[in-house]
Structure formats: C-alpha cells, structure tokens
Structure 1
C-alpha cells in the first residue's frame, strides 16, 4: 500500500481520522466531515475513474453505520460493492485512495485482502441479504447473537431474484436479528423499474411508517422513510433497529450523486461511473475522430435490424444504456424491456417471448450472464428457442477487476446443446454476425465482445465455410495454424507475420462462429503441423479445448497449443497489460508458438495430421 501523502491539500478532519474518533465525535462535526469526503471523492475518482454517483449518495449513511456498528465485530455487507468507497476511506485506506482501481492499488469493490472490514467481495447485485441470512444463522449457533449483521442494499439491487429469496427467509426468522438498510435513491443505472419501484415511491410520498407495507407483511419491522443525508436521523434509526433484536428494514432515501451538481443533473445515470480525467496542466489531446465502441456498434446495428425485423425485441437487466440498447429503446420503445437486476428472469422471459414468435435479444455483461445458466440451459436451449444473447465486456475488462472480467462465458455456455457462439473481430463482423444470429430460428445464439473501442477492420483474404483466413504464407508445407478468437485475431495476425519471418509456413484463421467447432477448422488443423488457439476467455474448457476435442473425435493428431486466460481470478489493471501478462499479445503468442513447434514438430511432422 502507498504511504506517501495524499495529493489533496485540505487536512483530514479529526472526526474521521480513525473509527474510534468517528464514534466519539460530536454530531455537529459530521456535516463538515461529509463535505470533505465528497470533495475528496470528486477529486480522487476524477483522477482514477470509478463509481462516483453511488458513493456521493452514501456519505452520511456510511458515517452513521460506522458510528453505530463496530466493524469488523459487527458485520456490514454492502450489496453491489461499488457503494463502499466511503467505507474504505473510514476503515484505514485513506492514504491509498489515490491509487483506486490502478494496477497494484485499491480495488473498486470490497476486498478481503485489503482489510478485515471487507467481509464480502461482492460486486454482483442482490446477494447481501443471503450473506446476512447465513451470517445471522452462524452467529446464533455460535452463541454470538449480540454481534450485529447489517446488509446495505440499494433499491435497484432489490429488484433481483436473490434479494426476494433473502427477504422471504429473513422476514420469517424473528429470532435472528438482521438489519437491512435499504438505500433508496430510485435508481440502478437508470430509474428503478417495476412494481417495487412504485411501492417505494408510495412510501416516500406518504412519509409514514405506521401503516402496513411490503416489508411489514413479510415480517419485518419497518423504520422510515428517513432522510439518508441526515446522519443524526439515520444514526438514531440504526440504534433503534439494533435494540429491537429482530429483522428490521431501515428505509433511507438518498440522492445518487449528492453534492455534485453534474451528477445530480445527469438523468442518464447520475455519473454512476466515470473515466479518469486528464491530469491538471496536461496538454489537450490532439483532436481526432474517436473510434466507435463495441457497445456502440452493436447498439446501432441492433436498432437498424429491429426496424427491419418486427419480431426482434430486446431485454436488459437494468442496463439499457451500458449494453447498447438505448438507440433501439428510443426508436422502438415498446420493444425494449428493462426487467431490473434479474438475469434469470430476463432469460426465462425471453424464452416466453420466443415461444410466442418473437426473436429476443438479451444484452448482458458477460460477467453477469453465468447467473442465468440454468435458464439458458433448461428454458431456452432445451426448447431450441431462437434467443440471441449479446455479451458485452467479454474477456479482460480492466480496472473493475476479478468480479467483472468476462472470462468464463465461452467455457460455461460452450457446453449448452445447440448453442452457437460467435466472437467478432471487428465492426463489420459484429454487424454481419448479429444479422446471422437474428436470422437463425433453430436455437440459441451468443455473441461476445470486449469493453472498449473496436480495432481497425481486418478483412479476410478468403472465406472457408465459417472461417475467415486472414493470412497464409506461400511456402509449403503448412507449419503453424494460428486461430485467433474475436479481437485477438489482430494479435494473431501480427504473430503470424513474426513466425513467417522465422521461416515457418503460417495460416491465420478467424472463426466467425466458433462453437460448435466448424468442420473446416478441424480440416485446417489436420493440414498443419501445429495449431495454436488464442482466446481472451479462460483456457480451461474454452474454445481451444473444444477444438482439441473435435480433433480427437475426428482422429486428427495435430498438437493443439491452447492459449488463453489462466483458471484463476485476475486482478484489476489495464486490459493490454493483463493480456500481455497472460501471453496473449504478439510477442507472447509468437514465443508460445515457437516453443510448441520446437517441442512437437520434427521434420516428419510436416505432413497431414489426419490419421487414416
């Protein structure tokens, strides 16, 4: 951890220099401390990038939590951990905050390796209530029921199915005191949708906790609604909740982006997440046309296709803008459905739409898609329904870290019967593959692409079935086949040129539909002495493994060198650096291919590897 001074000149208020100081500080010292924290957040997150809006909204709430509860003896679990920045500041990590989300620095989410105050490393929504249920059961069994269990969950995360399962279990257990702090700002990324949002709006409007409501019907004591920016009011409610010794919902109303006018006025997402701003005094970047993002290319292509195909509908799990559905939502608002943070419901609802003759497009971040594996498998694939899944942020995502790298999807969904998976390498292939997916009525399809801007177009020299050939050397025999999946085709092309300079005959192939493995790819492998697959998904069980199995089934003995991400959780850091560390850049691919060739390929191997 860093020990050098912070770059902010204002001294740290005495009331927040330690948790002990915070708990003993007079209440009148809390408002200036909250203002100081907001100033720091705006400055720091502006430098590093990160989740600004959610944390500006929980400053007073976080102060109150740490004044009432003694962490880590009392357990505080933050649902969707991007609202835990203030918690980090208050629990001894102020001096490291300048390195938030930087390689080797603080995580943008709770992290057990950083602090004993970070109990749960969750950044997937709707899990905190289940954690709290288990913690409270364990406290009771251990005779430690005086140790409080607190779950802090936003109204957006409360739309998720797991949250409702947690409410169902917690409300019925009057002998297990769990305090649910409902941080209600009316939003996930966008305004919270559905009947729950309407109910919370009614509670906010009435401002009266005396009557029955959803939570009291489920067995909770309900306290609220409270002004979440009044630390004293929230603190008093939390003390009361603890003293009740039963399940309690403390409903606090906050403003996402509070104290930062651009965030408060941003109707899109209240500056939910921001990128780093240029350093003060740095020269302005040269004006140039920005390359389109993968998300933007997909969004435009989908809106165009939906206008031409009346059967196309789209579903979002509370992320219409981040997944590129906003253009279609503006153009065809009745055909885009936001179901809240509920991936399982999204997929099963898509199955119903497909059964009724529609072609649903379910757009989800790759890291969240695994939450709905059962629905993809048993509700969509079992019925051979035409549902297209579009996975944004596939592969290495960068500063969001281990919970957000979309590295599992190819291995997880590659086993689903009838699933066709494509990995476009550039904008033209993304548009073409989306059109092909929407025209496929025989079963589910899946497209995956990474975070960031699309690379330069990589036109194919020629097409071989579902395989684009990007490079072939003239010399024979064929030594090395490089199979570049998706955007890693560019690195494979560069590596192929480097291998050619070593005197090897090289073919660079870019599968358009990678799963099921095209027969043409097996034939190509049979015609080369060595095949090297390169993918930005986990290597174990990935597309390279599927090709190796397909070659074995076809009695092709060509050695398959599978390059991909290791089977471990990767840290946060720049995408290019993490890919380089995994050997997935030009130099790493070249070195791996040369080692594999020297190991497996003697001169007699320079022939067809198909066993007769």
Structure 2
C-alpha cells in the first residue's frame, strides 16, 4: 500500500523532489490533515487553510531554511509547520509542552522569526535582508508573507517605506483575503478590492509608488500560477511585492461561508464543518459580552459615548454597538496606536471614548497612552480585554504586563473588576465623568454571575472591599483571580483566621483600607494574574515601605519569565496562582505565623 504524499515529506527538501504535477494532490492532503487535527484539537483554522497552495509553493521554489521565510500573522503557518518536520507532533499544537500555535524560533530552524502579533514581518525580513547584504550573502532570499489584513497596519507601512529606498533582496507576498479576524476595513482594503477586480490595478499603484516591483493580483489557489510567479520573482533583485488573492477557510465549505466564526472555531465535524454544539444557556456570560451589551445600554442614554476597537469587533463584542448604533462605533483596523490617539482626539471634544483593546495589543500603543492620553490627562476609558493568562495562544498573547506597564504612568486610574456586575458598574461610573483616563482590565472567558444585569451602582474611585473576615492572615487580590482565592480558602480545614480583600483599584490604592489591614493582621499575601515584578504586589510593598509597615508580605503572580501555552488552569498552576497553589501558600504562611 503506497504512502500518502504528505507522509513522505519530512522536510522541504523532500517536497522539492516531487514532480510539479503531484503538488495539487499534496495540497489536498495537507488541507485535509489540517482540518482533521484542528477539528479535534482546536486552533486557528481559516487562515492556514487559505494559504495551503502558497505554503507549498514557497517551500517548493525557495531553498528554506537557507532562504528566510517570515509569516505575518503567525496563525497562517500550520501548513508551514507540517511541511517542516512537525507533522507527527502537530496534534500537540497549542497544548502544554506541545507545539506553539505560532512560529517560534526555538521550535524550528524554519521559524525564522517569532510572530504572534501582526504586521512585523516586513520589518523583520528587511532587517534580515540588510544583514545578508552586510555579510556578503547576496544570493540569500528573504520572504515576508503578509496576510489577514496586516498590510494596513502602520508598522507594515513603515517597513514598506524603508524597504523602498533600499536595494535589499526582499520579497513581500501580500496574501489578500479581505479579512483579518473580522472583515477588513479602511481605504487600503477598498483599493486592494479595486485592484482585485481589475479597476486600475497598475495605474496609480500605491505599491509601485513606494519603489516596489508589483506583480499581480493572481489567484493564490492556482498552485502552478503561484509557483511560476515566485520563480520569476526569485531571479529579480531589490524590493518586490506579489499580490495574491485567497479565500480564508478554503476547502471547508462552512469555513468559507462564515470566515469570522471559523477563524478559530473550536471543535467541529471534519466532514460537514458543523460546529460542536455547546449548551451555554445556564452558564455565566463572557466578560466580553458583558462589555458589549453594557456599552450599548449606556450609549442609548448617553449620546456622548463612542466605541473604538482595532480590528476586534467580534472578539471584544463591540459588534453589538456596531450593529445597533453604527455611527458611534468604530473599527479602525489593525492600528492600536491610531485607536488610542483617535480616542484622545475625541476626548478633547467632549466625547466619551471607550477604547477596547486586548491587553497584549495595548503594548503596541504604549507611547500613545503616555504622550497622547495621560500627559494631557484626557478621560479616555480603556477596556483591556484578555487581561491575565489567556491559555493556548501562549506567550505572545498573555495580558500579564498591563498592571506593571500602566501603574508607573501619572494620572491614570487602574481598575480590575472581580465579576460581571463590577465591570458594568465601573463602565457606568466612568461615563458619568472622570477627570482622568482609566484602564479597566478583565479576563478572557466567562465570569461567575448568572444574574449579572443588575441596576447600575456608582463605584467610588480608589476604594477596596472586604470579602471575608479573619483575624490573622490577610489576602489582598485584584480582579477575577479572587475566585481562585475564594476556592483556596474554602478548601482549608480551618479558614476562620483568613481575611480576604478585593482591592479593586491598583491605582489609586485604597490607603485607608490598607492602613486598617496593616494595623490588624500579622501577615499579608498579595495575589494578581499579572507580572509579579512591578505590578499590584509591588504597589503594596511600596505602600508598606513609605508608611513604615513591617509585616511580612508574600507576593503571588506571574513569575519573571514568559509563560508558554496551555489551558488557563494548567498555566495558573505553573504560575502558582491556581486555587491549589494559593491554598499551599496560605498553609505555609500559617505555619510561619
């Protein structure tokens, strides 16, 4: 019995030995293999299905890994991983101690650059190309594959702008599928659409204006056409761009029809594409949906409220406002810097901007938070989705640095809601009128409250609350990690001596409450689902030092290293903030008392 073609490919060298006429069959096998595994193990589906032919063509034409291939964004790269020696371990994708869901330099020599956030490939590949020039490696090729709307980001344009005035050996492949996670937006998307349907594709070409040799658009699923174009471009020098048109989710009918849902669909039937049914009727809501419904509720009665998201209307649930109040909800594309300064500009004119950005992506707009918002003390409301550990997306996506990187900025208020009701209440409080910007950070996934649509209550800025009384050890937590603390305390044989406080505000701290705590307890534990260096626990230590408080303090949080991928429960255990780990720390502290 003959092997499948895919089984014979251990490295791209094996692929390059195949006659060209066998490659379409290999594409079918590769696409089916991705569907088979992801249908059971979950992960990013649509993007990798869309680039199966391109992936094969790139490794067929170029001498990888000697030629350097950079994927942007990284969730396109499943086929690349499978063809580069990781087929037999692909079933471990995104699992603890398994393959990363994104290209990762220490995982394979074929992963030339780590890519989890968008729009980095052109700059990285250009840096590699310039390095090759300096080293005299003039035949080495450098290819950046830019897809899922990443070309519209400012950083991509910065890379194009620089590359256009060099003679670097750089090829940019624009994988144009008209969608990121949600449909692409903006003038560039409209321009590319016109080029795709033949409206002035050469005249007034924006890519050629940047001194790139432009080719295309061509059908990205015509394997032979892609190979022909790549072979021609391989012989050229200087900056070039190949524009290919693909369909996200290609090869699975339902994924093609519903590209948003099948970006990362969870488990599904590999034959029909039907999603695995989930009974969520009696579950608490996702924090994202609480945000989405609450901003609509508030905006209905306050016409100054606007919503902003950088390309995440579905993930952030701002889609609800975009559907019901479309003229006051804005998807600005993959442009976090622009999103922040846009919000700042709106705030100068009396609007109340809710700027919803994933915690990990706000890192990309740090200067704008400082220079354009906080320095001018503008009351922008940042809603930081996916704060804390996010699970299988891993180190590139964990929102664990926000408390530390925001806490040092003057003027900013930082609040972490413990549950859905507190998220609603702080959103309500913020739109009543604050004198400063505020960051509200909340986790990915479901909360704990079924009856979450409570009447709004104003929250006094800078106040914490006591959740449980005790007389010996005080636990101070912020945000949704409180549920782990509650489980830990409940598991103890004698929890009566343990007090639990939800400080809620990381900045400003409730100093009155802290004075009470330091005056009435013997030991303190701080717990956060953020970086332990410079975060909430550090703020408590600073308070203790400033006020000459001598109590022993143990800080729990994300340790000073990058946490990889796994379930949130697995990663919390590794970080020492699972209920079991917290209970162990409490017991240790009680023995020291």
| TM-score (ref. length: structure 1) | 0.90
Q: Distance in 2 between matches of 1:154 and 1:540?
A: 35
Is the alpha carbon distance of 1:210 and 1:348 closer, same or farther for their aligned partners in structure 2, counting shifts above 3 Å? closer
Q: Distance in 2 between matches of 1:582 and 1:453?
A: 21
Is the alpha carbon distance of 1:244 and 1:270 closer, same or farther for their aligned partners in structure 2, counting shifts above 3 Å? farther
Q: Deviations over 1:285-321 (max 9, x none)?
A: 8885233111111111111111111111011111111
**Residue 468 of structure 1 aligns with which residue?**
465
Is the alpha carbon distance of 1:14 and 1:98 closer, same or farther for their aligned partners in structure 2, counting shifts above 3 Å? closer
Between the two proteins, the alignment pairs up a number of residues equal to: 580
Aligned match of 1:511 in 500, 503, 512? 503
Aligned match of 1:501 in 486, 494, 508? 494
How many Å apart are 1:484 and its aligned residue? Answer: 2.0
2:53 counterpart of 1:73:
no
2:254 counterpart of 1:262:
yes
Q: Distance in 2 between matches of 1:470 and 1:356?
A: 40
Q: Distance in 2 between matches of 1:279 and 1:319?
A: 27
How many Å apart are 1:593 and its aligned residue? Answer: 2.9
Q: Distance in 1 between matches of 2:75 and 2:379?
A: 35
2:272 counterpart of 1:275:
no
2:392 counterpart of 1:395:
no
Q: Distance in 2 between matches of 1:279 and 1:521?
A: 55
**Residue 354 of structure 1 aligns with which residue?**
347
Indicate if the aligned counterparts of 2:383 and 2:440 stay in contact, CA closer than 8 A.
Answer: yes
Is the alpha carbon distance of 1:471 and 1:247 closer, same or farther for their aligned partners in structure 2, counting shifts above 3 Å? same
2:578 counterpart of 1:594:
no
**Residue 214 of structure 1 aligns with which residue?**
206
**Residue 203 of structure 1 aligns with which residue?**
195
Is the alpha carbon distance of 1:294 and 1:182 closer, same or farther for their aligned partners in structure 2, counting shifts above 3 Å? same
Question: What are the residue-to-residue correspondences of 1:92-103 with 2, within 5 Å?
Answer: 92-103=85-96
Q: Distance in 2 between matches of 1:181 and 1:286?
A: 42
Is the alpha carbon distance of 1:436 and 1:583 closer, same or farther for their aligned partners in structure 2, counting shifts above 3 Å? same
**Residue 58 of structure 1 aligns with which residue?**
51
Q: Distance in 1 between matches of 2:90 and 2:62?
A: 23
Q: Distance in 1 between matches of 2:488 and 2:242?
A: 58
Aligned match of 2:413 in 405, 412, 420? 420
Question: What are the residue-to-residue correspondences of 1:436-451 with 2, within 5 Å?
Answer: 436-451=429-444
Q: Deviations over 1:32-86 (max 9, x none)?
A: 1111111111121111111101011000000110011111100000011000001
Structure 1 portions without partners, runs of 5+: 1-8, 602-612
Q: Distance in 2 between matches of 1:556 and 1:440?
A: 35
Indicate if the aligned counterparts of 1:455 and 1:487 stay in contact, CA closer than 8 A.
Answer: no
How many Å apart are 1:518 and its aligned residue? Answer: 1.4
Q: Deviations over 1:335-394 (max 9, x none)?
A: 111111110111011100000111111111111111111100110001111111111111
Aligned match of 1:178 in 139, 163, 170? 170
Taking only aligned residues, the RMSD between alpha carbons, in angstroms, comes to 2.3
Is the alpha carbon distance of 1:278 and 1:411 closer, same or farther for their aligned partners in structure 2, counting shifts above 3 Å? farther
**Residue 455 of structure 2 aligns with which residue?**
none
Is the alpha carbon distance of 1:295 and 1:559 closer, same or farther for their aligned partners in structure 2, counting shifts above 3 Å? same
How many Å apart are 1:276 and its aligned residue? Answer: 2.9
Is the alpha carbon distance of 1:371 and 1:399 closer, same or farther for their aligned partners in structure 2, counting shifts above 3 Å? same
Q: Distance in 2 between matches of 1:45 and 1:400?
A: 14
How many Å apart are 1:553 and its aligned residue? Answer: 1.5
| TM-score (ref. length: structure 2) | 0.93
Q: Distance in 2 between matches of 1:553 and 1:278?
A: 59
Q: Distance in 2 between matches of 1:303 and 1:93?
A: 45
Q: Distance in 2 between matches of 1:23 and 1:87?
A: 14
**Other structure's SS at 2:570 match:** helix
Indicate if the aligned counterparts of 2:47 and 2:148 stay in contact, CA closer than 8 A.
Answer: no
Question: What are the residue-to-residue correspondences of 1:12-161 with 2, within 5 Å?
Answer: 12-13=5-6, 16-154=9-147, 156-161=149-154
Aligned match of 2:301 in 281, 303, 308? 308
Q: Distance in 2 between matches of 1:587 and 1:511?
A: 22
Is the alpha carbon distance of 1:285 and 1:332 closer, same or farther for their aligned partners in structure 2, counting shifts above 3 Å? closer
Q: Distance in 1 between matches of 2:227 and 2:526?
A: 57
How many Å apart are 1:29 and its aligned residue? Answer: 1.1
Aligned match of 2:311 in 309, 318, 331? 318
Q: Deviations over 1:163-184 (max 9, x none)?
A: 11101000111x2120000000
How many Å apart are 1:223 and its aligned residue? Answer: 0.6
**Residue 223 of structure 1 aligns with which residue?**
215
2:476 counterpart of 1:479:
no
Aligned match of 2:515 in 505, 520, 523? 523
Indicate if the aligned counterparts of 1:185 and 1:254 stay in contact, CA closer than 8 A.
Answer: yes
Indicate if the aligned counterparts of 1:180 and 1:248 stay in contact, CA closer than 8 A.
Answer: yes
Q: Deviations over 1:476-534 (max 9, x none)?
A: xx3111112211112222333456706x6222111232322111332233121111111
2:576 counterpart of 1:579:
no
Is the alpha carbon distance of 1:451 and 1:278 closer, same or farther for their aligned partners in structure 2, counting shifts above 3 Å? farther
Is the alpha carbon distance of 1:24 and 1:499 closer, same or farther for their aligned partners in structure 2, counting shifts above 3 Å? closer
How many Å apart are 1:582 and its aligned residue? Answer: 1.7
Structure 2 portions without partners, runs of 5+: 453-458
How many Å apart are 1:585 and its aligned residue? Answer: 2.2
Indicate if the aligned counterparts of 2:175 and 2:246 stay in contact, CA closer than 8 A.
Answer: yes
**Residue 244 of structure 1 aligns with which residue?**
236
Q: Deviations over 1:386-443 (max 9, x none)?
A: 1111111111111111111111111111111111111111111111111112224211
Indicate if the aligned counterparts of 1:500 and 1:506 stay in contact, CA closer than 8 A.
Answer: no
Indicate if the aligned counterparts of 2:153 and 2:333 stay in contact, CA closer than 8 A.
Answer: yes
How many Å apart are 1:241 and its aligned residue? Answer: 1.4
2:445 counterpart of 1:452:
yes
